[in-house]
Structure 1
Amino acid sequence: MTFTTTEPPLWALHRDLIAKTVRTDLTHAFHPGQPHFPAFPDEKREMPFDMSRGDGFNVHLYTIVGQWGTHVDPPVHFVAGARPLDEIPVDEMILPLVVLDITERVAADPDAVPALEDVAAWEARNGRIPEGAFVALRTGWGRRWPDPAAMANKDEQGVSHYPGWSAEVLRYLFEEAGVTAIGHEQTDTDPGLATSAGDFSLESYVLERDRWQIELMAHLDRVPEAGALIVATWPKPQGGSGFPARVFALHQAD
């Protein structure tokens, strides 16, 4: 049998992407007992149907807060009446990926945050940050997962020491570069010194701009600082204020 139908262009593109790119999962698998914001309850997991008990299939019942594991924060998470998850269009879920790397500085000082000099150095190497990009902060903190104590990194006074974003860099990204979203490896947008004092002003700044973010990202050390694409997806609860996300990057092997 001879087939003469021309291959649809998107199928050809998919075959080309699979052949020429690496797909890197940027998501932690969530589970009870994992690191999380201390005010949140732990996950509860039950099996109302269990094949080991003689049922015909397996079904899990999960009881979790929306901000659980690698998750998305939509604007409504901090801003009443702002966009919930179901109003974020799929057009915003496939974006150019920019990675700002401050891993070496964090290794010497866990309270380190990015500076405008880090952005300028990135742009000197790669060109201007693309408008509409997703910018991820690589700190090396994801290597501490899933140890809650290591992630919180509290001192004897109970103050957390972990990296976060800085106001000057976020202002540049959203007001000058026009990025769509950000992400990071830590539990919070704000550094540990701020969150320990109840200060979440940087997260408020992001969500008040009608932008969204991904928290608790994984494996940012496996993707290049420029040239990759990120795909960020999540379920679509009506009016949802947050949910575990599945996030991955497509990039060249080198």
Structure 2
Amino acid sequence: MCHACVIENVKQGLLSRRGLFRSAAALGLATGAAGLMSARPAMAQASKVVDLTHAYDGAFPTFDGKPGIIYEPAVKFADAGYQLWKLTIFEHTGTHIDAPLHFSEDGASVAELPVESLVCPLCIVDIKAKAAEDANAMVEPADLEAWVSANGEIPAGACVAMNSGWGAKVGDPLYRNTPDGKFAFPGFSKAATDMLAGMEVACIGVDTLSLDPGNSADFVVHFSWLPGGRYGIENLANLEGLPASGATVMVGAPKHAGGTGGPARVLALV
């Protein structure tokens, strides 16, 4: 059966049933509203939701410089009355997750991440001052110790995110490179991630292209952090203005079997 015929049949079926559903819908809305009211206390501590995700297209900066997503029209509205894209997406583009499998032969895939690890206390370590002086600045143990001194212990299961101020550079070539074409952006040091691993932190996040700084030659943070069963988030947005502690992050991880990572919708509840 042609797509147009299917759509027309669906439209007619919906129209014929609209009257039947109208009274049921009224009852359903009342019941749903009551359910939402009863559920609301679970979210009472969050006064706002902040999107930590960049919208991205083929122009968004990538590590290898190639477009991370390609759009092809699969169905056009003018032809069929609806529209959809065929997307070719590389896993590690935009705001995305690095799963353990990304840097290990047999680590957990993105589909196998425990759901409990995707809802985390959010701890934001601000290194903007260092990053303004050194494009390859790193979160070091001293930065974590200063955070603990100011905010208390980093809880097990937390997401520890670096705020280097780099998110504001998206769209500028300096987000990825120095003017002479060398990789340059902040990241974590292995000494810091080893410290966080000992605290049983669930994940680390960066507002840059990589968990390792741009001048890394060995990707030591990737090779040490991810195979330990933990994950990372790269290209976070909108960390500026969030509190150093007290927010909760919800990581909308993709769930394709065998995935080494993938684009994610990341939200902070404050």
Q: TM-score per shorter chain, which class? A: 0.7 to 0.9
For the 8 Å contact 1:67–1:73, the answer to whether it is kept is yes
Select which of 167, 181, 188 maps to 1:165: 188
What's the CA shift for 1:15?
5.5
Select which of 220, 231, 234 maps to 1:215: 234
Larger Rg: 2
Superposition TM-score, scaled by structure 1 size:
0.87
C-alpha distance 160-129 of structure 1, shift in aligned 2 (>3 A): same
Residues of 2 paired with 1:67 and 1:137: CA distance?
18
For the 8 Å contact 1:85–1:238, the answer to whether it is kept is yes
Which residue does 1:13 correspond to in 2? 41
Residues of 2 paired with 1:135 and 1:211: CA distance?
12
Residues of 1 paired with 2:38 and 2:111: CA distance?
26
Select which of 191, 202, 205 maps to 1:183: 205
3-state SS of 1:192 partner = coil
What's the CA shift for 1:89?
2.1
Instruction: Please state which structure has a larger fraction of its residues in helix.
Output: 2
3-state SS of 2:188 partner = coil
- Root mean square deviation, CA, Å: 2.0
Structural mapping, 1:16-35, within 5 Å: 16-17=44-45, 20-35=46-61
Which residue does 1:142 correspond to in 2? 167
Which residue does 1:249 correspond to in 2? 268
What percentage of aligned pairs have identical amino acids?
33
Which residue does 1:65 correspond to in 2? 90
For the 8 Å contact 2:97–2:231, the answer to whether it is kept is yes
3-state SS of 1:193 partner = coil
Which residue does 2:176 correspond to in 1? 152
Which residue does 1:234 correspond to in 2? 253
| Stretches (4+) displaced over 3 A | 6-10, 39-42
For the 8 Å contact 1:40–1:65, the answer to whether it is kept is no
Which residue does 1:133 correspond to in 2? 158
What's the CA shift for 1:16?
2.2
Structure 1 residues not aligned, in runs of 5+ = none
Aligned length: 238
Residues of 2 paired with 1:68 and 1:42: CA distance?
5
Superposition TM-score, scaled by structure 2 size:
0.82
Amino acid at match of 2:201: V
Residues of 2 paired with 1:225 and 1:209: CA distance?
26
